A = this chain, B = another copy of it.
């Protein structure tokens, strides 16, 4: 059986794979740095992939390059596009790391380094799986394409344009992404829905400049007060958003969904304590924490501008004030419709004679991925085989626009099969990736490919 050979190869080459991953982790490929590190990482990947027979190249973008690759084995086999990213978050504050972020270190069964999990460690699993097929002369069950970007941590500014220009080259039957995490240790998980994100700012103007609160206090309207009144009107005491139509297109949670989520190992008290709280006091009433995060839209004020926000005080009445807001939409909601509803809600509350301006920032849609695709089935089963537990189908409150782009532009629903663990310290000091996850990821990927070709 092919799997046994593959797994034997992977078990026998653990140290070699760790050494190679360490090489990649030592490259400080931070997307915002123009120090050449991103090029180094891209070239390192092209070299590794070329050695395995992949036709790989570094493809330039206006900012950091994309690594593209393909390995065609058979017109009859399905074609899988592997997406990952070689860029990492900045490592600051350096003083909080127990070992240097770009000098990978093993402690207590974990690899500690910036990018160990996100995403170099997870991405490298695909190269290990491919290597196992190639070096054991096991026929590769799928055609492979690779798209490895270098700007994920800064919001993938070049990606949509790059996809548009390379649609034909990227055509595929399935997309595999490993850039997320197990819901809990021992609980393999696939993310099938993500919230969308929109943001903007509204401005309320009274006078043509800031005024002295003594000389004019009592005659002018204070735009900060008006902003506060509008924000206060946005929610009721039960945490519901009062913008008309805000929940119109939200899909009702099925009893089965609620039950399945309620069985996930989630401790609300522990979650609260992780945020420094004794207990959770906020949120929309009538929904569990996971339901609020995964299936309910939100509207948050992210900052308020106007007057004086420096040290101490200044007795000023601002001429203008603004509120920066963002919302998270859930599947079936149109973010542009929500944006319009918010604009109308604010506009209706601007007092007569005050000026009003509404600025749209972004309005990225939510994503709901097909749960019945052959690739999804294959991944579910492979995870279950390797980790010995049923795969949880989970959602994510945050937004990952790449899966939405693949759905919209390539017409393919990605399989978001993450191998991280919830405590991997992503974007924080002491990022880690468990060795057991690292080794088992490659086996899971290899098995997924095998199951896809049935």
Contacts and interface: CB of A to CB of B under 8 A. Distances in A.
Contacts of A147: none
A305 B298 contact: no
Contacts of A222: 282, 300-301
A359 to B, nearest CB: 9
Contacts of A207: 275-277
A353 B279 CA distance: 8
Interface in A254-272: 271
Contact of A300 (B217, B277, B399): B217
A397 B282 contact: no
Given A305-B309, A309-B304, A282 B213 contact: no
A49 interface: no
Nearest to A324: B313
Interface residues of A, number: 79
Interface stretch (A160-168, A224-232, A438-446): A224-232
Q: This chain: how many copies in the complex?
A: 2
A278 interface: yes
A315 B309 contact: no
B276 A397 contact: no
Interface of A: 195, 197, 199-201, 206-209, 211-222, 224-225, 227-229, 231-235, 271, 275-284, 289, 292-293, 296, 298, 300-310, 312-319, 324, 326, 328, 351-354, 361-362, 396-399
20 contacts: A197-B214, A206-B277, A206-B282, A208-B276, A211-B275, A213-B302, A216-B275, A216-B293, A218-B298, A220-B280, A221-B281, A225-B231, A228-B304, A229-B232, A279-B353, A281-B352, A300-B315, A302-B313, A308-B324, A309-B309
